[in-house]
Structure 1
Amino acid sequence: MLFDDTYKTIAAPVEALFKDKGSKFLSYAYPLSQESEVKEQLLKLRAAHPKAVHFCYAYRLTPDRNIFRVNDDGEPSGTAGRPILNTLLSADLTNILVVVVRYFGGTLLGVPGLIHAYKTATAEAIQLAEIVEKSVNDIYEIKFDYIMMNDIMRLIKEEQLPVLRQEFDNDCMIMVEVRKSQVNKVLQRMEKQEGAELKYLYTV
């Protein structure tokens, strides 16, 4: 199969601590589903750590891992965000945000020292996290007449499609999750249901 329909992420937020020459590096890893959540987490961390000097981070998003961003937040360029991201790359994780909060301890660590500290702090958090494998699923909406209910429900049951929402009236609507590797098969079966309308919504 050309398309890999699974990806690895973390199950729940974790935090870890790495110390070097008096500096403290608190690393926070969060499961992430959209970019707007990044700002929210940063605001919470800044409020929780008013005396910290740097809030460096990296994140990766989407199952095909093509959305990512790094931020050095005032540290020398390439010494913080990039090492955090590289650690996520080597663990092959996506849909994840890691923020490393630094308290300066009075001693400069230099570029190699900083890279090591941010990388290690990130690795420590990942080690504590529960890594989970998730499948890539497309969300579809099925619209049909009430008289087709049994046929549609049978298809959903046989294909083991999780139902996210349903509305039953004269016109019925069911929102289902279809695993990427199953999509073609489900679409072919749906096309045989005369009068049923299938609409792709988004991918999770």
Structure 2
Amino acid sequence: MTSPHITSVYGSAETEYTIKKSRFLVHLREVTCEEEASAFIEARRKEFWDARHNCYAYQIGPAGAIQKSSDDGEPSGTAGRPMLEVLKKNSITNTVVVVTRYFGGIKLGASGLIRAYSHCVTLGLEAAEIADYLPYQVVNVSFPYSFVSVIERLVPSYAVRIADRSFASDVTFTLEIPEEQAGPAIQAITNATNGNAICKTEKTKVIPIART
């Protein structure tokens, strides 16, 4: 069964935005559960205890199964929800974003706040590294030394990653193959080695692939 596709911020990122003397500090982090998200939010609140607002949004799990947001004192619906909508629009999950606002003395109005907080998250995603978490099949392939160059030339055609190489009486490559390519790749290896390669399927693992 194919694993659900997750796209998230990879690691963490930060940026800032100033409009009409209000300073917005933007912090994003990759998370896998609500406990991690809550801890990150609380850490930002403690760090920026003197700020007027520490608004946040996060969604976690495939298709954003868990979602939460907070205006933290801003007019209802002008901060947390617009921030969450940017995450949803970009299909970014397993991510929490906190936007800290230092009020500059000039009111932005409801529509101005919505635009400002939305823009902050957009800027944060632009500053962050984004990764797609994709399912890979781990396969150990053993074959005679004479087929090393054959295998090395073949695997890029199937986006295969060579995770490990072992050289003993035979050569063993540990391959990480995109799940949907596993069958064709194994068949191609078998054909290219005239059946001399022994392929042993191990586990499926999810690997973050950074977007370029």
The reply to whether TM is greater than 0.5 is yes
Distance 1:71 1:7, change over 3 A: closer
Residue-by-residue CA offset, 1:40-85 (whole Å, 9 max, x unaligned):
54354334312124332234567x6445533206345543222112
Give the aligned partner of residue 88 of structure 1. 87
Equivalent in the alignment of 1:27: 26
SS in 2 for 1:15: strand
Q: Specify the SS of the correspondent of 1:51.
A: coil
- Determine if the alignment matches structure 1 residue 16 to structure 2 residue 19: no
Residue 141 of structure 1 corresponds to 138
Distance in 2 (CA, whole Å) between partners of 1:107 and 1:140 is 55
Q: Number of aligned residue pairs: give it.
A: 193
Instruction: Normalising by structure 1, report the TM-score.
Output: 0.62
Residue 49 to residue 179, structure 1, CA distance change in 2 (3 Å) = same
AA at the equivalent of 1:14: E
- Match of 1:123, SS state, is helix
Work out whether 1:102 is the aligned partner of 2:101: yes
Aligned in 2, Cα 1:6/1:201: closer, same or farther, shift over 3 Å?
closer
Cα offsets for 1:157-196 (capped at 9, x unmatched): 5122222345667899754332355334124447877753
**Tell me, what secondary structure is at the counterpart of 1:196?**
strand
Identify the residue that residue 67 of structure 2 maps to in structure 1: 69
- CA distance in 2 between partners of 1:120 and 1:86 (Å): 11
Q: Distance in 1 between matches of 2:94 and 2:196?
A: 36
Corresponding residue number in structure 1 for 2:210: none
- AA in 2 matched with 1:142: V
Corresponding residue number in structure 2 for 1:55: 54
Give the alignment's Cα RMSD to 1 decimal.
4.5
Contact (CA 8 Å) 2:28, 2:97: kept in 1 or not? yes
Secondary structure class of the residue paired with 1:82: helix
User: 2:154 matched to 1:158?
Assistant: yes
> Does residue 197 in structure 1 map to residue 194 in structure 2?
no
Once the two structures are superposed, what CA deviation does each residue of 1:19-56 show, in whole Å capped at 9, x if it has no partner? 45x643222244x3644754554354334312124332
Q: Residue by residue, what CA displacement relative to the aligned partner does 1:131-175 show, whole Å, maximum 9, x if unpaired?
A: 76x665433333466xx3646884465122222345667899754
Q: 2-side partners of 1:57 and 1:182: how far apart? A: 39
CA deviations on 1:63-115 (whole Å, 9 max, x unpaired) are: x6445533206345543222112223444555654321123457776654442
Which residue identity is paired with 2:72? G
In the aligned structure 1, how far is the partner of 2:42 from the partner of 2:170? 45
Q: Is the 8 A contact 1:144 1:171 kept in 2?
A: no
Is this contact kept in 2: 1:139–1:175, CA < 8 A? no
| Kept in 1: contact 2:51–2:101 (CA 8 A) | yes
- The residue type paired with residue 202 of structure 2 is K
